[in-house]
Structure 1
Amino acid sequence: MEARAGYLRQNLTGALAYSSFVPKSLPPDPPVALDTEGMTLLVAAHRQLALLEGLAARIPNMDLFISMYVRKEALLSSQIEGTQATLDDVLDPLADVNANRDVADVVNYIRATEFALHRRTELPLCNRLIREIHGVLMEGVRGQERYPGEFRRTQNWIGGTGSTLKNARYIPPNVEDMHAALSALESYMHEADTLDPLIRAALIHYQFETIHPFLDGNGRVGRLLITLFLMEENLLSAPALYISYFLKQNRIEYYDRMTEVRRTGNYEQWILFFLRALADSAEDAIRTIDRLSALHEKNEAILKQNVSKKQMGTLSKLYSYLEAHPILEVKKTAESIGISYNAAARAVAVLVEKDILKQQKQVGKTRIYSYTAYLEILRGDM
């Protein structure tokens, strides 16, 4: 099985010599063969994704949940790469003026996801779309000098701080081999294949990470590709899956299993890990949606108690805004939902009185409020 996944190519000579990996095109040869455990995991992953998709279709305010899921996945995916930011940092209503570089990374991932979801209605999954997503991801943040929106033009490598081509843990394909591998991967994403689409999603993610076509941001783009491919295959209609939580919790195994494919050609052990990640992530998303839905219904009932019809309109607007922005300040909220500052302040006071909102902190004269119960559910697995 040594050459099943690829082989090493010698580059340059003498003191500058190094070996880069050349991945074989997908699908694997010999073909993927799952054992009983693999088939059980495949069935479980499909079942959980189908349950999640059914739930997403039934919930009237799913768009509000999705906006939060996009933010959570962006945060978790960025944390895998070492970004030091919290959910509160990302949701801070003053983040646009106070954002540090870590928060900016996450905000750009959110923008890249939203861009990809819109752009995929105009473009299929392709190298052009991948480059455009990367351009949004890297715009104006660290790494922006590293060719945002362009495939790399130099050799890269993976290793600890200060590592070089001589002691790198992994050296992706050289530039010429990279372009050939990307072209083959783009073709594979659109080819008819007898393999189950969840297995194909595992292979595509592995292959993209192995090619490592950018100087920075490969992991985040590669994880976003998982969601986009599942949507392309009509297994998800919305990005309600945050697989990065599982991958972050099992980060060492995540990288080790991809390394094992390159080392031995054993794709199957990677696919089993990936299917577990999908099943667990979908199951977790279902639990979270159930809890958020119960909280929504409970608080909608509380809102209607001892409130005039006129006031109810403003409170409903504020509550809808709150589910997409569970940390808020009055001025920005008033502007966002199109009401006066005083009306927003009165509505916030009612939500505080009803124990839905809590004052979190005060920055100068600005008071920051949080939807604590909502945030606790979202933080439950972080």
Structure 2
Amino acid sequence: MTGPRRDRRSGDYRAYEPDALVGSALALEADTDGKVAAAERAVRALNQDAHDLAGISRFLLRSEAIASSRIEGIAPSARQVALAELGQSEDVRGVSDPARLVANNMTVVRDATTRLMTVDVVGVSDVEELHRALLPDEPRLHGIRSAQNWIGGSDWHPLDAEFVPPPPHLVAPLIEDLLTYLNGAAHSPIVQAALVHAQFETIHPFSDGNGRVGRALIHTVLARRGLTHDTVLPISLVLATLSSQYIAGLTQYRHDGEPGSRTALAARGAWIDRFAEAAVLAAEQATQIGQEIREARDEWHERLTSQRQGKRSLRSDSATYAILKNLPATPVLTARTVEGIHGVSRPAATRALEELLSAGVLESRSIGPDRTAYVARDILELITWAERRLASTKFDTRQSRPHAGVPAAPEGSR
């Protein structure tokens, strides 16, 4: 082999073998136990905004789709991605290729994670299917690994690695143990999600894409245990933003003590403590998003009320009402999509969209010859600001700039 001397070294290394999850001991400090309880209360409280949060959840997971598409540089805007989603069923002019890639990956990832949440028992093949969905263009990387991998150091050997996962012959039994634990209910949902994620990242069962699958498994656990319903807790984005604390927590989880020892119990407890804190932060951010959507709805109602002076009040069976109710989930619409989604006639869909346009709830945009899309700018800007907050280490862009790779602030930024 040619190359730098550092890459031509040989020697011994130690691969890490984690404790099993099934039947393992767990003892949390009172403070950590309180954080877990607080996290579960905070996440359950999100269900009051479940309809609206579910609508925009897929946009908050665009980072997974961007990573899966191997897109470099600035992330496509929420408007571009929403138009690209519309382009999956209609011909839309002026959509960038990166936005189309992200929109397609969002659809694939959503379908794959939904399946994991609904199957009776999650098996190895289900996790492999999710992995294939997250790395659709990398067939050589699909399937449980059969070679040693490592994190950091040289590309040629693990001698200088930051972490060396278990050797290949241990991966299959460790994954079986992890999935048995995931399919059970030995611990509370927050604790279970924390341990499943940390254990999966420690096993590192795939050659690439482990982080994306591991983050998806957090949502899988929380949904399967009923802690979240249609909404998605943006904990992946919180963990990514607090990356140094996240990596430190995973490093501490990989203890050197005997299974069940005081060292082992302390290591798991410390990781669960960090994870619970991140879950509370994620719930707080989701709560703020829900409040902002409610405020937007109030403003839409005021605009419509002003627009409809002298007319009868909005009926709950009208096309306008149906569009407004589902607007966070469908911030870009055409008369054709309204007809298909809400089961109304094309003339009724057009009248409703034009009414919302006149009231200032929607804006119009040409998407082709004699073809118009209607855009909920309020929702798209809300999504962009939420993404920027979630990319700030202070979760406030006025105190800490968001990290690179998030969409630019909308015009007239605050």
Residue 378 (structure 1) aligned to one of 383, 386, 390: 383
Which residue in the other structure is 2:55 paired with? Answer: 67
Shift of 1:309: 8.8
Separation of aligned partners in 2, 1:89 and 1:159: 35
Matches within 5 A, 1:183-222: 183-191=176-184, 193=186, 195-222=187-214
Residue 244 of structure 1 is aligned with which of 230, 233, 236?
Answer: 236
Aligned pairs for 1:116-265 within 5 A: 116-118=113-115, 120-138=117-135, 141-147=136-142, 150-159=143-152, 163-166=155-158, 167-191=160-184, 193=186, 195-262=187-254
Contact 1:73 1:243 in 2 (8 A): no
Q: Does 1:25 align with 2:12?
A: no
Equivalence for 1:275: 276
Cα deviation, residue 353, structure 1: 1.8
Q: 1:103 to 1:74 in 2, by over 3 A?
A: farther
User: TM-score normalised to the size of structure 2?
Assistant: 0.72
Could you tell me which residue of structure 2 aligns to residue 8 of structure 1? none
Structure 1 gaps of 5+ residues are: 1-13, 57-61
Identity among equivalent pairs (%): 25
Shift of 1:262: 1.9
Q: Distance in 2 between matches of 1:65 and 1:192?
A: 26
1:235: Cα distance to partner? 2.3
CA distance in 2, matches of 1:175, 1:363: 51
Indicate how the Cα distance of structure 1 residues 181 and 349 shifts in structure 2: closer, same or farther if over 3 A, else same: same
Report Cα offsets for 1:52-109 as digits up to 9, x if no partner: 23x15xxxxx44541321x134214456788544433432245547564575356434
Work out the CA distance in 1 between the residues paired with 2:314 and 2:27: 63
Tell me, in whole angstroms, the C-alpha distance in 2 between the residues paired with 1:103 and 1:170: 36
Contact 1:77 1:223 in 2 (8 A): no
1:336-382 Cα offsets, whole Å, 9 max, x none, are 556676665554333222111124x6556455542122223333331
CA separation of 1:330 and 1:186: change in aligned 2, threshold 3 A = same
| TM-score relative to the length of structure 1 | 0.77
The one-character-per-residue Cα deviations of 1:107-161 (angstroms, maximum 9, x if unpaired) are 43443333433454332233232223223333xx4324422xx32233333338x
Among 40, 44, 47, the alignment partner of 2:38 is: 44
Distance in 2 between residues matched to 1:144 and 1:95, nearest whole Å:
26
Distance 2:54 2:183 in 1: 27
- Change in Cα spacing, 1:77 to 1:315, as seen in structure 2 (3 Å) is same
Q: Secondary structure of 2:114's partner?
A: helix
Amino acid at match of 1:325: T
**How many residues of Structure 1 are paired with residues of Structure 2 in the alignment?**
354
Q: Which runs of 5+ in 2 are unaligned?
A: 1-8, 257-263, 388-414
Please tell me the residue identity of whatever aligns with 1:21. Y
Report the secondary structure of 1:181's partner residue: helix
| Map of 2:362 onto structure 1 | 357
The amino acid of 2:78's aligned partner reads L
CA–CA separation in structure 2 for the residues paired with 1:337 and 1:118: 25
Q: Tell me the equivalent position of 1:59.
A: none
Q: 1:253 to 1:180 in 2, by over 3 A?
A: same
Deviations 1:38-64 (A, max 9, x none): 2331232122123223x15xxxxx445
Helix, strand or coil at the partner of 1:23: coil
Amino acid at match of 1:355: G
Give per-residue Cα distances to partners, 1:204-251, cap 9 Å, x unaligned: 110011112223332222112112212222322333422122112212
Report the residue type matching 1:153 in the other structure: S
Deviation at 1:257, TM superposition (A): 1.7
What amino acid sits opposite 1:20 in the alignment?
A: A
In structure 2, do the counterparts of structure 1 residues 131 and 38 end up closer, same or farther at CA, with 3 Å as the change threshold? same
1:323 aligns with 2:328: yes
Distance 2:228 2:22 in 1: 23
1:18–1:165 CA contact under 8 A, matched in 2: no
Letter in 2 for 1:92: L
Mapped to 1, the partners of 2:23 and 2:77 lie a distance apart of: 39
Moved more, 79-88 or 168-177: 79-88
Of residues 29, 40, 44, the one that matches 1:35 is 29
- For residue 32 of structure 2, what is the amino acid of its counterpart? G
Distance in structure 1 (CA, Å) of the matches to 2:334 and 2:216: 31
